[in-house]
Chain A
Amino acid sequence: MRTSLQAVALWGQKAPPHSITAIMITDDQRTIVTGSQEGQLCLWNLSHELKISAKELLFGHSASVTCLARARDFSKQPYIVSAAENGEMCVWNVTSGQCVEKATLPYRHTAICYYHCSFRMTGEGWLLCCGEYQDVLIIDAKTLAVVHSFRSSQFPDWINCMCIVHSMRIQEDSLLVVSVAGELKVWDLSSSINSIQEKRDVYEKESKFLESLNCQTIRFCTYTERLLLVVFSKCWKVYDYCDFSLLLTEVSRNGQFFAGGEMIAAHRILIWTEDGHSYIYQLLNSGLSKSLYPVDGRVLKESIYPHLLCSTSVQENKEQSRPFVMGYMNERKEPFYKVLFSGEVSGRITLWHIPDVPVSKFDGSPREIPVTTTWTLQDNFDKHDTVSQSIIDYFSGLKDGAGTAVVTSSEYIPSLDKLICGCEDGTIIITQALNAAKARLLEGGSLVKDSPPHKVLKGHHQSVTSLLYPHGLSSKLDQSWMLSGDLDSCVILWDIFTEEILHKFFLEAGAVTSLLMSPEKFKLRGEQIICCVCSDHSVALLHLEGKSCLLHARKHFFPVRMIKWHPVENFLIVGCADDSVYIWEIETGTLERHETGERARIILNCCDDSQLVKSVLPIASETLKHKSIEQRSSSPYQLGPLPCPSLQVESSCKVADAKFCPRPFNVLPVKTKWSNVGFHILLFDLENLVELLLPTPLSDVDSSSSFYGGEVLRRAKSTVEKKTLTLRKSKTACGPLSAEAQAKPITESLAQGDNTVKFSEENDGIKRQKKMKISKKMQPKPSRKVDASLTIDTAKLFLSCLLPWGVDKDLDYLCIKHLNILKLQGPISLGLASNEDHFSLMLPGWDLCNTEMIKDYSGVNLFSKKVLDLSDKYIATLPNQVGIPRGLENNCDSLQESNTIVYLLSRLFLVNKLVNMPLELACRVGSSFRMECAHNNMRSAGNDILNMSSFYSCSRNGKNESHVPEADLSLLKLISCWRDQSVQVTEAIQAVLLAEVQQRMKCLGKTPVNSQPVSMAENGNCEMKQMLPKLEWTEELELQCIRNTLPLQTPVSPVKHDSNSNSANFQDVEDMPDRCVLEESESPGEPRHHSWIAKVCPCKVS
Chain B
Amino acid sequence: EEEFRWLLHDEVHAVLKQLQDILKEASLRFTLPGSGTEGPAKQENFILGSCGTDQVKGVLTLQGDALSQADVNLKMPRNNQLLHFAFREDKQWKLQQIQDARNHVSQAIYLLTSRDESYQFKTGAEVLKLMDAVMLQLTRARNRLTTPATLTLPEIAASGLTRMFAPALPSDLLLNVYINLNKLCLTVYQLHALQPNSTKNFRPAGGAVLHSPGAMFEWGSQRLEVSHVHKVECVIPWLNDALVYFTVSLQLCQQLKDKISVFSSYWSYRPF
Contacts and interface: CB of A to CB of B under 8 A. Distances in A.
A578 B125 contact: no
A488 to B, nearest CB: 9
Contact of A132 (B33, B103, B262): B103
Contacts of A255: 116, 118
B61 interface: no
A904 interface: no
Contacts of A535: 261, 265
B53 interface: no
Contacts of A233: 110, 114
A1047 interface: no
Interface string A7-39: 000000000010100000000000000000100
A318 B121 CA distance: 10
A674 B260 CA distance: 12
Categorize the interface residue count of chain A.
Answer: 35 or more
Interface string B245-272: 0000011001000100110011001011
A322 interface: yes
A674 B254 contact: no
A511 B34 contact: no
Given A156-B94, A597-B146, A675-B271, A19 B116 contact: no
B115 A321 contact: no
Interface string A667-709: 0000000111100000000000000000000000000000000
B99 interface: yes
Given A406-B269, A598-B146, A319 B34 contact: no
A674 B269 CA distance: 11
B227 interface: no
B269 A408 contact: yes
Contact of A322 (B114, B254, B261): B114
Contacts of B266: 487
B258 A213 contact: no
A604 B1 CA distance: 41
B133 to A, nearest CB: 8
Contacts of A132: 100, 103-104, 140
B125 A674 contact: yes
Contacts of A901: none
A1042 B241 CA distance: 89
B114 A674 contact: no
The listed residue with most A CB atoms (<10 A of its CB), out of B35, B99, B119, B266, is B99
A134 interface: yes
B5 interface: no
A380 B111 CA distance: 32
Interface in B91-140: 94, 96, 99-100, 103-104, 106, 110, 114-116, 118-119, 122-123, 125-126, 128-129, 136, 139-140
A211 B34 contact: yes
A158 interface: yes
Interface string A975-993: 0000000000000000000
B129 A180 contact: no
Contacts of B261: 535
B181 interface: yes
A537 B114 CA distance: 30
Contacts of B104: 132
Contacts of B272: 675
Given A132-B103, A597-B146, A675 B115 contact: no
A233 B254 CA distance: 28
Contacts of B94: 134, 156
B212 interface: no
A37 B103 contact: no
B262 A321 contact: no
B251 A557 contact: yes
B162 interface: no
Contacts of A274: 114
B18 interface: no
A535 B271 CA distance: 17
Contact of A181 (B33, B96, B128, B271): B33
A636 B251 CA distance: 55
Given A213-B35, A536-B258, A557-B251, A323 B114 contact: yes
Given A274-B114, A675-B125, A675-B272, 6 more contacts: A157-B103, A345-B126, A511-B265, A557-B254, A558-B250, A676-B269
Interface of A: 17, 19, 37, 85, 132-134, 156-158, 180-182, 211, 213-214, 233, 255, 257, 274, 318-323, 345, 406, 408, 424, 463, 487, 510-511, 535-537, 557-559, 577-579, 597-598, 674-677
